[in-house]
Homo-oligomer: A and B are copies of this chain.
Amino acid sequence: MAYQSESLIAQAREIREASGVSQRALSERAGLTQSHISQIESGKMEPGLSSFIDLTRALDLEVMLVPKKLVPAVLSLVKARATRDMHIHAGQPNDKRFARAERLVKKMKHLYGSSADLDRIEDTLRFLRRFNISDQEMQLVRALIARLERYQASAQAAPVVRDIAQNLQQLRNSIVHAAPSEPRPAYSLDDGDADADA
């Protein structure tokens, strides 16, 4: 099925395997379930565009639109470097946290209905996830996520959710402002703290 996407998916799979990432590991980083990934990779299911993007992003890839004429050029460019370049930092607790948080939000939307604030949180999480954020910033994010988890089922969740949304938004804004167009210099490779919180 889905003849068009086959090659892209196969590509993604190859890269995943070449990077030594298991479906389960990827599923956490991408925010999908392992079973989902399995079915996508084996062609039993066709992913939505954003699922696919989530997948590829978790593999350090970008989905790009390229004019047909330029495909060979881009291809040669990519291939030249791709073979030895693909290495993924194995454990990235931050990513895990984000994935977890995103799933939490998704679940909340399910259970209690969508809301502007939840949408905003979701978007902002996705945004922040793409950036290499500093430890300090991540601490804030972690605190906010923890708070969200704590209050998810409470009766007064609404104002809390709103507050969290606002905080995340502010963080995002500050980052955007600080980084006009430049790629951030990749900090955050340290993060010595084990990932054991709930």
Which residues of A does B touch, CB under 8 Å?
A: 1-5, 8-9, 11-12, 15, 46-54, 56-57, 60-75, 77-78, 81-82, 85-86, 119, 122-123, 126-127, 135, 183
Tell me whether A62 and B60 are in contact (CB under 8 A): no
Copies, count? 2
Interface of A is mostly: helix
Task: Out of B1, B51, B81, B127, name the residue touching A67 (CB < 8 Å).
Answer: B81
In the complex, which residues of chain B have a beta carbon less than 8 angstroms from the beta carbon of A57?
4
Q: Which residues of B contact A60 (CB under 8 A)?
A: 67-68
Q: Is the CB of B49 within 8 A of A66?
A: no
Contact residues in B for A71 (Cβ distance below 8 Å): 62, 64
Contacts of A56 in B (CB 8 A): 65
Min CB distance, A27 to chain B, in Å? 16
CB–CB A62/B53 < 8 A: no
